[in-house]
Amino acid sequence: MARLVIVSNRVPDVADSGPRAGGLAVGLADALVPGSLWFGWSGQRVAQRSDEIHTATEDGITYATIDLAEDDYRSYYLGFSNATLWPLFHMMPSLVSFDNAGYNAYRDVNEQFARTLATLIAPDDLIWIHDYQLLGLAEALRQLGVGNRIGFFLHIPFPAPALFDLLPPAEELLHGLLAHDVVGFQTEQDRGHFLGAMYQRGISLQGNDAWHEGRRLHSMVTPIGVDVDAFNRLAVRAVRRVEARRVVESLAGRALMISADRLDYTKGLPARFDAYGRFLSRFPEQLRRISFLQVAAPSREEVDQYKALRDELDYKAGAINGEYSDFDWVPLRYMTRAAGRGVLAGMFRISRIGLVTPLRDGMNLVAMEYIAAQDPLNPGVLILSRFAGAATLLPEALLVNPYDVDQMAEAINTAMLMTLEERQERHVALLERIRTHDATAYCRSFVAVLSQAEG
């Protein structure tokens, strides 16, 4: 059986004894069997570029990492990856910043990854590359003579062709993607945008396949998911923890609405705060009946746009609490620090409403984890942005336009008034959907297709 080699920008820290933080580490848990290799950046920065490899083993899985030079961190990671690709792929072109130095560093780091990875792989290994930071890795591997089957999965949206064309190196990036055997996307819309960009450049298409220089590239849609039962067990345990008990006591019978995000401009937090303020204004009968807990883990704090976002949210949170607080009630609890998955699982389970309203998102595992955490006898209501990839899978959620403050305010009121019977009916349907599209289905479907690729 071929060994699976996972490649991502960051690799989980095996020295961290706590639960995996979520996202990729959780989604790939089923694929990582003893003997697998996970390769990427250690998270450490050094003064000079180095190909030195650090290895660690946990549960039979090898984690191999390299450090990033400080200049590469700023130009490759903060620069081209997160100041150029991230906003453009999330369809926010006004926030895009591009310079040639950043793109050159991006290519250099992809080539550094390729040189290092080439020393670690065997000819029959399956290589599965993840996300937008490594769009050029497969091409760099091919240039080194690597003939392995190589797959790529994009976790964030792929922009419409007209937006993608705004990138000065758009053609080079697309050419790099053609070096894969399989590319995967979260939604049909993302795949359609990708194939449309290929078509505009005269690449030969046959159905969902692209042909270029004798190589067949197969595109597929396989949304990432969560381990439903494991997260439910985590939530059941978590409600007995002191953090959950303290929150329940502080609510004094009020409903809890919760959101949990990275502090990122794609997550729609300013409009979300505005919507909550609009809800309190339009539906005064709900005053003192609800408390909103927003957990916003700091992210990319070196970037000016993120500093400005935090300042804006601090102001909005203060305005809401200044307007509506009472002596024994604060309507908005706003935390700008990370919370562990166990703590969040407990908060999800005790909440009446989960508010997940990104302006654009590849999938959004928080929405799925919120569903998985619920008590089926007394489930909460999920309010979900229709611009999250998860909305294509979860139509029984209350779907909203995250730019429409009044619609979100009305959805909060609808969730507060929803009967137990309707909440249960929606939850049964949503739970079945996330079981169908769970982490196991995600991993197995992609690896099965990659295993059959011609190479």
Residues forming the active site: 155, 361
Q: Please, where are the H alpha helices in 341-436?
A: 341-350, 365-373, 405-417, 420-436
Strand order across the 182-185 sheet:
54-58, 61-69, 37-46, 4-10, 126-130, 150-153, 182-185, 215-221, 209-212, 204-206
Q: In the structure encoding, which two tokens stand for residue 52, read together?
A: 């030195």
Helices (H), 41-168: 70-72, 86-89, 100-118, 137-143, 161-164
| CA proximity to 219, closest of 251, 195, 202 | 195
Give phi and psi for 349, each to the nearest 5. -70, -35
What are the two backbone dihedrals, phi and then psi, of residue 65, each rounded to the nearest 5 degrees?
-135, 155
Q: For residue 65, what is the enclosing H or E element?
A: strand 61-69
Buried/exposed 323-333: b ≥16 CB within 10 Å, e otherwise: ebeeeebebbb
Spell out the residues 6+ positions from residue 75 whose beta carbon is closer than 8 angstroms to its own. Answer: 101, 102, 104, 105, 106
Distance CA 209, CA 218 (A): 4
Q: How far apart are CA 185 and CA 166, in angstroms?
A: 21
Length of the chain: 455
From 108, 21, 19, select the one nearest 66 (Cα to Cα): 108
- Token look-up 């705060």 returns 273
Give the whole-angstrom CA distance, residue 177 versus residue 217: 9
User: Chain-centre distance of CA 282, in angstroms?
Assistant: 33
